[in-house]
Amino acid sequence: MAAKKIVLTFPKSKIDKPIVYKLIKDYDLVFNIMKASITPDQEGHMVLELSGEPGHIDRGIQFLKEQGVRVEPLSKEIKVDWDKCVQCGACVAICPTGALYVKDRKTMEVVFDPEKCIACELCIRPCPPRAIKVHF
């Protein structure tokens, strides 16, 4: 079983189509929607983690492209410079996925789980010592 994080951009003409559903039904893939912004009559965006057999993932991605969906790898990641971090927790309050969290309420130690991170970059601005950066 393999997994791949991708960013999908749907043309507004495809917003009302069951495209992602077909990844399950026709390609035997499991998906986790990490972030989505879908509005009628507008271009839509979705960050997915696809899991399944490598060949199935490749065929599913090819299907998405044939439907006019732009598919890009999630090619950026968030890095925390723990030497700069002052454990203030400002990033924890803004993180929509819980990738940044307080491990122990007594010590208020902040922890980062990169597997949960969708690289939305919301954590960068509120960090007072600028310990959080995005890497491409």
Q: What is the pLDDT of residues 41-75, one digit of tens each?
A: 899 899 888 999 999 999 999 999 999 999 988 87
Report pLDDT for 27. Answer: 95
Task: Specify the CATH number for the domain of residue 18.
Answer: 3.30.70.260
Give the pLDDT mean for 6-13: 91
Whether residue 53 is found in the same domain as residue 34: yes
Angstrom CA distances, 123 to 12, 82, 87, 89, stand at 29, 14, 13, 10
Q: Fill in the DSSP letter of residue 108.
A: T
Q: Are residues 53 and 89 in the same domain?
A: no
Look up the domain containing 34 and give its range: 2-73
Q: Percentage of residues in the chain with pLDDT exceeding 90?
A: 57
